[in-house]
Amino acid sequence: MTDIDGKALAAKLQGQLAEKTARLKAETGMVPGLVVILVGEDPASQVYVRNKERSALAAGFKSEVVRVPETITQEELLTLISKYNQDADWHGILVQLPLPAHINEEKILLAIDPAKDVDGFHPTNMGKLWSGHPVMIPSTPAGIMEMFKEYKIDLAGKNAVVIGRSNIVGKPMAQMLLDANATVTIAHSRTKDLPALARQADVLVVAIGRGHFVTKDFVKPGAVVIDVGMNRDENGKLIGDVAYEEVAEVASYITPVPGGVGPMTITMLMEQTYNACLLAGVADGQD
């Protein structure tokens, strides 16, 4: 069994990104800019936003975190987004989720210019992904695809089962696996006899949000197991959706938690911001 080391891969990609950014700046004067809007003071969101800012600065980007109070109105938030949509210095705009209940999340995501939607959550970007022309793609599944590439895991003709059908992980993951010529099944909470279905997978991606839910019984010997889950156990320890110890006995490759999928997500977000900057440069040249 081989552990897929997301932490090491993320560090390597982050280093390459810093080099690419320095070159871009030297050759064109362009600097990727990422603005993160944080509404309210949710402790987990604050940690995520801090990590994104740190990663953007490490890559040599221009970075700004706009912290607004939880009492901001939807109209005020839309105006703020519109301001950054129009400002050519910012190539990526990210609104940290979740948002307070009085703000309609869908309206907010729709307001972000799809060319600056580095999260890849805008319906235009989702549609492009599903129609086989991806531009901005969600970072978590994008990071998983990078892991397959790094570890030379060939997906063509493989049976892939994705457990979880969220817009941010399960659905885009399924589409990316399909694009890589895997035969894909998406499972969810209404799936019948999930362990038997999962046992057919050569590649099993688990994104459900239930600590240690997937046991050895779900895994075909030799399967590749990707654990997206981030849950806290009764002692507050970070654990995945997969019971790592027992599944590692049968899997060929497995991602640990922590140190697997998690670190890749932020790195891919930075890659997307860099790409958005390049695309903006190309668009400028066409004016």
The residues that touch ligand NAP, with contacts defined as CB under 6 A, are 140, 163-166, 168-170, 187-191, 194, 207-210, 228-231, 261-262, 265
What letter would DSSP give residue 272? H
Nearer to ligand NAP, 169 or 280 (CB): 169
Catalytic residue check, 117 = no
55 annotated ligand binder:
no
The tokens 């975190």 sit on which residue?
Answer: 65
Closest separation between CB of residue 257 and ligand NAP, Å? Answer: 8
Task: Please check whether residue 90 is in contact with residue 84, taking contact to mean a CB–CB distance below 8 angstroms.
Answer: yes
23 annotated ligand binder:
no
CA distance 284 to 287: 5
Nearer to ligand NAP, 84 or 229 (CB): 229
Closest separation between CB of residue 86 and ligand NAP, Å? Answer: 30
Q: What is the secondary structure of 219-255 as a DSSP string?
A: --TT-EEEE---EE-TTS-EE-SB-HHHHHTT-SEE-
Catalytic residue check, 52 = yes
Task: Please check whether residue 135 is in contact with residue 91, taking contact to mean a CB–CB distance below 8 angstroms.
Answer: no
Closest separation between CB of residue 139 and ligand NAP, Å? Answer: 7
Catalytic residue check, 119 = yes
What is the tally of helices (H) and strands (E) in the chain?
10, 11
Nearer to ligand NAP, 62 or 199 (CB): 199
Candidates 5, 116, 117, 119; catalytic one: 119
For residue 143, the surrounding DSSP H or E stretch is helix 139-150
166 annotated ligand binder:
yes
Q: Which residues are annotated as a binding site for NADP(+)?
A: 164-166
Supply the residues annotated as catalytic: 52, 96, 119
